[in-house]
Amino acid sequence: MIVADKKPIEEIIEDIKNHEKVLILGCNECVTVCEAGGKKEVGILASALRMYFLNQGKEMKIDEETLERQCDHEYLEEIRNVVDQYDAIVSIACGVGVQFAAEKYHSTPIYPGVNTCFMGVTEERGLWTERCQGCGQCILSRTGGICPVSRCAKRIMNGPCGGSSKGMCEINKELVCAWQLIVERLKALDRFEEYEDLSPIKDWSTDRAGGPRKVVREDVQP
């Protein structure tokens, strides 16, 4: 899922302080799971903002809405009939949702209510860690299902580097060396001999290096 973290309320206040009618727009997908932008967080943020502006003596209409997703036309269309009632929207979906809402509702300012961080997993409640950087050329079959692109600080394809010490990375003693994990996993899979195979030079043009990317699937297009 896409992992996001809440923005400080002060930052959101600064963004919307000159508006009068604001919609707080949540998303039922990834940001709900990482407890940053779901219905609950919409309620908390809206309540806090209402109290802040009321306390400042400023009349402010702050409404709440949470969509199934903000990255698909059909769900974003659900607010088409009400969007004119607001002079700004705070979207607490990931950056994708914020941008898609901004594209769709061209004349309404859309402000982000979360900081979008990475694609990752819920290791335990309240702890999310990165697993994928969407490099566009998955090599997990060769690395025992552990990704050196997202989990190795240097993104090296033939590791570990000299900074790996007692299974930990040199940049942070709490960060596990991805290549240590790969070696252990290959051993467990009884495929350790594959570790000797050199990885070919990776084609980074499918990563961000090639500019913004797109996937075209003519077979599923209408």
Partner 1 sequence: MRLTYPTNIRIIRVPCTGKVDILHILKAFEKGADGVYAVGCMEGDCHYTSGNFRARKRVEQAKKILDTVGVGGQRVEMFNMASSEGPMFAEVAIKMVDKIKELGPNPIKLQKKKAA
Residue numbers of the site for partner 1 (CB under 8 A)?
A: 8-10, 40, 43-44, 47-52, 54-57, 59
- 109 in helix, strand or coil? coil
Min CB(64)–partner 1 separation in Å: 11
Nearer to partner 1, 57 or 211 (CB): 57
For residue 179, what is the enclosing H or E element? helix 178-188
The structure tokens 């394809």 sit at: 157
Min CB(67)–partner 1 separation in Å: 19
Determine the straight-line distance between the first and last CA of the chain, rounded to whole angstroms: 27
The candidate with the shortest Cα–Cα distance to 119, out of 143, 99, 95, is: 95
Could you give phi then psi for residue 213, rounded to 5 degrees? -110, 165
Nearer to partner 1, 13 or 83 (CB): 13
Min CB(104)–partner 1 separation in Å: 29
Min CB(3)–partner 1 separation in Å: 19
Asked if residue 38 lies in contact with residue 31, where contact means CB atoms within 8 angstroms, the answer is yes
Cα–Cα distance, 96 to 33 (Å, whole number): 16
Cα–Cα distance, 96 to 116 (Å, whole number): 9
Min CB(53)–partner 1 separation in Å: 9
Nearer to partner 1, 36 or 49 (CB): 49
Nearer to partner 1, 8 or 162 (CB): 8
Asked if residue 178 lies in contact with residue 147, where contact means CB atoms within 8 angstroms, the answer is yes
Nearer to partner 1, 29 or 41 (CB): 41
Nearer to partner 1, 51 or 209 (CB): 51
Min CB(8)–partner 1 separation in Å: 8
Q: Identify residue 54 by its one-letter amino acid code.
A: L
